[in-house]
Amino acid sequence: MKRVGVFVCWCGRNIAETVDIEALCRQLGRDAPVAWVEDYKYMCSEPGQQLMKKAIAEQHLDAVVVAACSPNMHEVTFRLAAEAAGLNPYRLEIANIREQCSWVHRDRDQATAKALDIVRSMVEKVARDEELQPLRVPVTKRALVIGAGISGMQAALEIADAGHEVLLVERQTYIGGHMAQLSETFPTLDCASCILTPRTAEVARHPRIKLMVASEVIEVGGYVGNFVVRIRQNPTYVDWSTCTGCMECVEKCPRQVPSRFERGLGTRKAISVAFPQAVPYRPSIDAEACLYFTKGRCGICQKTCPVGAVDYEQKPVIHEEKVGAIVVATGYELFPKARIGEYGYGKYPDVIDGLEFERLNSASGPTSGRIQRPSDGKVPKEVVFIQCVGSRDQEKGVPYCSKICCMYTAKHAMLYKHKVPDGQAYVFYMDVRAGGKGYEEFIQRAVEEDGVLYLRGRVSRIFPEGSKLMVWGVDTISGEKVEIAADLVVLAMAMVPSPTARDLARVLKVSIDEHGFFSEAHPKLRPVESLSRGIYLTGCAQAPKDIPEAVAQAGSAASKVLALFSSDELLHPPTVVRVDPEICSGCGLCVKSCPYEARQIDPVSKVARVREVLCQGCGACAAACPNGATQHINFTKEQLMSMIDTFTGPPDGAGRER
């Protein structure tokens, strides 16, 4: 029989006032496995720990129960102390007689009896606890960043700058994400591409960043430190390794189509680069638009290319890569316009969204930065901006605030006024949320310096009248109906997660919230970690945020990756499950019940196996196992049953004495 020592803490008066420590110790001293009982005013204090260490050594204790506060408080403290005294730390358990006993009951007799039960149950458990060593797993010091918007690029750069290789995977044919579409940024009004272009160039030339554009992560296996990912590189129909970027093909291509990058406001060729500063600066063919693919004729680009880089036969390529950590930076999209019926978006050409306005205003955009309305190219004199379109709308949109719309609407209105000083800008708003450095001042500037007219209220209807768009709304401050004959209407659409997020979450086996944003492990304390170890979140993939926040979060995610890479081995808690192959019937229930793919049926022996480093120690498979072949280490059925026994047995503890 094991020699169990029990150390009862008074916690000053916190425990001692309600629990009769003397009676408790006296009773425990009579129980069979208890070889040593000691109490002290503050067990967690230095002398308290010393006393425990001394007893472990002198009394040859091989298991210890500390009856004190919650294990959430000091389990680690006491386990470290026990280890220092030569006891395996997994042979120490905490009996929670403060939070769950002395603090919640007043009757001293009842509290004492309950404390006795609690300690006894832990004595039963600890007497059956195994000595364990943490599992050690090697780390592949190479990171995968999914999404090369501003946040993903930042994360990649920080990890690469710290000396580790990064695989940066981007679905589009270029990097930079939505920021590449922006004209200026708030609250400084500095040009977006002037900030972005040096970053994209840095990413492209970084010796430790391996960039994969037109690529998607399709499968992730393995676990923290040792992920195996499969990436599909979609065909661009141009061999970029031979292409020199001369763009002669683009010039000669006869096929013009609306440009996605310009959000349909401009055109591009069927073979093209998304925009002039695109990185990598290489053309790709849009098979849906290309005459060769759709009609089987043309082939001009292939004939034109001086280096023979155009390859209509290119097929998707699957790459398999090993990485130790993954950063998810899949960004956002705007709320689907099809769902905003009442504002005529998609129906009237002069009702546009915020990103479209960015393109109109961009020097490299379809109008070279002149503000012209899409329908007839006229310079609009009355422009209505509507905030919260789709956001904060329980019924038709999303319930959350998209966070950046107040700011970018003010920016749009200002930029418009700078370009069309005799024009009038109206902003319909619900509230103005301008929390951030220099943000409130920015809004004030829009109102005071640029004369932007803010109207509090919702727009009820927009309809065309002649060449104008009639905007009906209510100013809820004056209570008056407002009617504006506008030339252009700009909708600040809600931000929604990237459409790829849902599938990616499934591939990564991490959770997303009800809206499709990736869920962080803890909203306050672990904001960049997913609940799966080794997978981190950054940027709008996690929640709507602006550029400074997306960049800050990227740094934080990168530092998590670097911390992971700072040692050669990772420690994994050993309280996983174990299979007795003699008993296992190979029924496979454990495989089904495991959310981590840690359980498998061995193809040769036909019994279940545990992939220990994948096991998170939840115990679900052990509960599902019909014959007890799978046991949760240190939470075995025998242990749990013995604990239940202490609670259901005779009240006086009869049968426990030695």
Partner 1 sequence: MAVEREEGQSPGDFEPRIVALLCNWCSYTGADLAGTSRIQYPPNIRVIRVMCSGSVDPMYILKAILEGADGVLIGGCHAGDCHYINGNYKARRRVAIARRVLDQLGLDGRRVWFRFISASEGRLFAETVREMVAQLKEIGPNPMRDRWEL
Using the rule CB under 8 A, which residue among 58, 107, 248, 602 binds partner 1? 107
- Among the listed ranges 109-117, 222-230, 339-347, 431-439, the one in contact with partner 1 (CB under 8 A) is 109-117
Instruction: Check binding of 113 to partner 1 (CB under 8 A).
Output: yes
- With CB under 8 A as the contact rule, the residue among 110, 244, 294, 467 that binds partner 1 is 110
- Does 349 sit near partner 1 (CB under 8 A)? no
Element holding 489 (H helix, E strand): strand 488-493
Report DSSP state, residue 423.
S
- Nearest CB to partner 1, comparing residues 116 and 383: 116
Binding of residue 644 to partner 1 (CB under 8 A): yes
Nearest distance, CB of residue 621 and partner 1, angstroms: 9
Secondary structure letter of residue 55 according to DSSP: H
Among 479, 648, 657, 658, binds partner 1 (CB under 8 A): 648
309, 240 in Cβ contact below 8 A?
yes
DSSP 567-620: SSEEEE-S--EEE-TTT-----HHHHH-TTS-EEE-TTT-SEEE-TTT-----H
Among 10, 16, 27, 112, the residue binding partner 1 under the rule CB under 8 A is 112
Q: Which of 74, 85, 3, 64 is nearest to 44 (CA)?
A: 74
> What is the amino acid identity at position 309?
A
- With contacts defined by CB under 8 A, name the span among 117-125, 263-271, 298-306, 336-344 that binds partner 1: 117-125
Q: Is 618 an interacting residue with respect to partner 1 (CB under 8 A)?
A: yes
- In the bound state with partner 1, the residue whose beta carbon lies nearer, of 57 and 644, is 644
Contact residues for 57 (Cβ-Cβ < 8 A; gap 6+): 85, 86
Among 70, 364, 372, 559, binds partner 1 (CB under 8 A): 70
Is the bond into 187 cis (omega within 30 degrees of 0)?
A: yes
Written as six digits, the tokens of 436 are 């951030």
The closest alpha carbon to 467, from 484, 483, 486, belongs to 486
Binding partner 1 by CB under 8 A: which of 72, 133, 478, 566?
Answer: 72
Nearer Cβ to partner 1, position 121 or 387? Answer: 121
Strand ranges of the sheet holding 92-96, from the earlier edge strand across to the other edge: 34-40, 4-9, 63-68, 92-96
Under rule CB under 8 A, residue 647 binds partner 1: yes
Q: ∠168-169-172 over CA atoms, to 5°? A: 130
Residue nearer to partner 1 on the CB measure, 70 or 197: 70
- Are the C-beta atoms of 37 and 23 separated by less than 8 Å? no
Each residue 372-391 as x (binds partner 1 by CB under 8 A) or -, in order, gives: --------------------
Amino acid residing at 132: L
**Smallest distance from the beta carbon of 116 to partner 1, in angstroms?**
8
User: Rounded to whole angstroms, how far apart are CA atoms 81 and 68?
Assistant: 15
Q: Which residue, 376 or 645, is less far from partner 1 as judged by CB?
A: 645
Minimum CB distance to partner 1, residue 640 (Å): 6
d(Cα 512, Cα 333) in Å, to the nearest integer? 16
Please tell me the total number of residues recorded for the chain in this structure: 658
Shortest Cβ distance from residue 110 to partner 1 (Å)?
A: 4
Asked if residue 44 binds partner 1 (CB under 8 A), the reply is: no
Nearest distance, CB of residue 616 and partner 1, angstroms: 6
Question: Which range binds partner 1 by CB under 8 A, 51-59, 397-405, 423-431, 620-628?
Answer: 620-628
* Span of 262-270, 278-286, 352-360, 644-652 interacting with partner 1 by CB under 8 A: 644-652
- Of residues 553 and 575, the one with the C-beta less far from partner 1: 575
What is the helix (H) or strand (E) element at residue 201, kind and residue range?
helix 192-205
Closest separation between CB of residue 69 and partner 1, Å?
9
CB of 644: closest distance to partner 1 in angstroms?
Answer: 5
**Region 438-477 residues binding partner 1, contact defined as CB under 8 A:** none
For 317, the 3-state DSSP assignment is strand
Mask 563-582, x = binds partner 1 (CB under 8 A)?
------------x-------
Per CB under 8 A, 121 contacts partner 1: yes
**Measured from the CB atom, is 37 or 643 closer to partner 1?**
643
Q: List the one residue from 79, 91, 114, 403 that touches partner 1 (CB under 8 A).
A: 114
We find the least distance from the C-beta atom of residue 359 to partner 1, in angstroms, to be 38
Cα gap 158→164, rounded to integer Å: 9
Are 624 and 589 a contacting pair, CB within 8 Å? yes
Distance, CA of 420 to CA of 414 (rounded, Å): 10
> Which range in 84-92, 210-218, 497-505, 610-618 contacts partner 1 by CB under 8 A?
610-618
Measured between alpha carbons, how far is 463 from 454 in angstroms, rounded to an integer? 21
* Whether the Cβ atoms of residue 21 and residue 11 lie closer than 8 Å to each other: no
- Looking at this protein, which amino acid is placed at residue 158? E
Please select the residue that binds partner 1; options are 252, 370, 468, 637, rule is CB under 8 A: 637
The one among 38, 42, 103, 430 contacting partner 1 by CB under 8 A: 103
Which of 3, 41, 105, 392 binds partner 1 (CB under 8 A)? It is 105
Q: Cα dihedral sign for 321, 316, 207, 327? A: negative
Enumerate residues 496-515 that contact partner 1 by CB under 8 A.
511
Q: Which stretch binds partner 1 (CB under 8 A): 143-151, 269-277, 374-382, 612-620?
A: 612-620
From 266, 436, 586, 649, residue interacting with partner 1 (rule: CB under 8 A): 649
Please answer whether residues 259 and 174 qualify as being in contact, where contact means their C-beta atoms are separated by less than 8 angstroms.
no
Name residue, tokens 């472990």.
56
User: What contacts 176, CB < 8 A, 6 or more positions away?
Assistant: 148, 149, 150, 153, 196, 199, 200, 278, 279
User: d(Cα 417, Cα 408) in Å, to the nearest integer?
Assistant: 14
Q: Indicate the residue among 135 and 531 with the shorter CB distance to partner 1.
A: 531
Backbone φ, ψ for residue 471 (5° rounding): -115, 120
Q: Which residue type, as a one-letter code, is found at position 174?
A: Y
Asked if 617 interacts with partner 1 (CB under 8 A), we say: yes
Closer by beta carbon to partner 1, 317 or else 641: 641
Q: How far apart are CA 27 and CA 527, in angstroms?
A: 47
Token pair of 107, please?
Answer: 């009757």
For tokens 């190219």, name the residue: 377
Q: Which is nearer to partner 1, 451 or 595 (CB)?
A: 595
Give 318 or 644: the residue with its C-beta nearer to partner 1.
644
Phi first, then psi, for residue 472 (nearest 5°) are: -105, 130
Q: Cβ–Cβ contacts within 10 Å for residue 499, how many?
A: 12
Q: Whose Cβ is closer to partner 1: residue 23's or residue 401's?
A: 23
Size of the site for partner 1 (CB under 8 A): 48
Task: Pick the stretch among 70-78, 357-365, 392-400, 558-566 that binds partner 1 (CB under 8 A).
Answer: 70-78
Contact residues: partner 1, CB under 8 A: 70-72, 96, 98-101, 103-107, 109-114, 117-118, 121, 511, 531, 575, 593, 595, 616-620, 622-624, 632, 635, 637, 640-641, 643-645, 647-651
